Amino acid sequence: MLKKLNNQVDASGRLLSLKLSKGYITTSLARPFVDFITQKLNLNKMIYASDEMVFQTLTASDDLNAPNAFTHKCIERKVNIPYLTREISLLSLPLFTYWPEDETSLKCHSGYIRNALCVFGMEDLSNNFRNNTQIFANKILSSFDFGAVLCWHEEMRIRTFIEKGLNRLNNSLYQNWPQANSFS
């Protein structure tokens, strides 16, 4: 992975390097960035804790000069940017998660709990998701209920292209986020 930066220096002679970053496993990536990491980087050798560090480091390493990446300056300056793929408070968007020990949350209708999280199935979609504004759900596993994956995909298609009114996916909300502006 580091061969792209191996012994390279910038215009002022500073050695280029990756700055380690840590974050959530969930990641939102632009197509040009995905093409860059799959075509230009060697990701064959993985390291411990890569789920919380690899993409976070790659997206925030300025020296990689990756298309549609973010900047490490936000981390250094402790700039608070809303998460696109993880809900952390009532005001954040757009991931829906249910922890069964939280008595104020909705019920886990599938009855399958994994790592203290409800794994959503078909029976959860109409009860927990139909009027929900989030576009991601944690956890829906194809190995548990592939029908739930297909139905949620169809729901997103309907919200995006067909429905009018409150249930329609609000594209402008997502297009105006800092992450989306970095992708343009």
pLDDT, tens digit only, all 184 positions of the chain: 455 555 666 778 777 777 777 776 667 777 888 888 888 877 776 666 566 778 888 888 888 888 877 777 777 777 665 554 443 333 333 455 555 554 444 578 888 887 777 788 998 887 777 766 666 677 788 999 999 989 888 887 887 777 765 555 666 766 666 555 554 4
- Do the beta carbons of residue 158 and residue 49 sit within 8 Å? no
118: left (phi over 0), alpha (psi -120 to 50) or beta: beta
Give the list of residues 6+ apart from residue 113 with CB closer than 8 angstroms, or none: 100, 119
- pLDDT for 159 equals 74
Annotate 42-69 with DSSP letters as a single string: ---S--TTHHHHHHHHHHH-GGG--TT-
CA distance 6 to 102: 48
- Do the beta carbons of residue 108 and residue 128 sit within 8 Å? no
- Tell me the three state secondary structure of residue 130: coil
- pLDDT for 89 equals 32
Give residue limits of the domains in the chain: 2-80, 95-175
CA distance 27 to 77: 21
**DSSP secondary structure code for residue 15 in this structure:** B
- pLDDT for 24 equals 66
- pLDDT for 145 equals 94
Angle value at C-alpha 41, between 60 and 140, nearest 5 degrees: 70
